[in-house]
């Protein structure tokens, strides 16, 4: 279901990619990992609980890997782009007022 899809796409896939790429990153001259997070990870938004939880997991993964990989010289960060026109946001912002309140 959707819960499993959110988990696999938003959290499990980044973990598996880091695991696969780590040997190459360790040999890099200025290696860095950048994850895609979401404002939903830290701000409540209607109809987004499972997505928000998976993105909060990405932020936890980012902080943990930043500490674990610091001695290897690998930087780890996450970016959270602003509100983007997606189906998820259309469901969450059922009105212009809800959109303004979120911002």
Percentage of the chain beyond pLDDT 90 is 56
- Indicate which residues carry an active-site annotation: 51
Residues spanned by the domain of 28:
2-102
SS3 10: helix
The count of domains in the chain is: 1
- Reported pTM: 0.79
What local confidence, expressed as pLDDT, does residue 39 receive? 83
Given a cut of 60, whether residue 53 has pLDDT beyond it is: yes
* pLDDT bucket at 40, cuts 50 / 70 / 90: confident
The CATH number of the domain where 35 resides is what? Answer: 3.40.50.720
Instruction: Name which residue leads in pLDDT, 102 or 11.
Output: 11
Instruction: Please provide the DSSP assignment of 30-86 as one string.
Output: S-EEEEE--GGGTS--TT-HHHHHHHHHHHHHHHHHHHHHGGGT-EEEEE-------
């Amino acid at each position: 279901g959707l819960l499993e899809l959110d988990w696999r796409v938003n959290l499990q896939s980044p973990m598996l990619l880091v695991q696969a790429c780590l040997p190459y990153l360790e040999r890099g001259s200025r290696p860095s990992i950048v994850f895609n997070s979401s404002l939903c990870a830290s701000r409540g938004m209607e109809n987004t609980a499972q997505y928000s939880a998976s993105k909060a997991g990405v932020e936890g993964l980012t902080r943990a890997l930043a500490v674990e990989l610091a001695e290897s010289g690998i930087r780890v960060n996450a970016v959270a782009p602003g509100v983007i026109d997606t189906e998820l946001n259309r469901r969450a912002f059922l009105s212009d007022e809800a959109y303004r309140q979120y911002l």
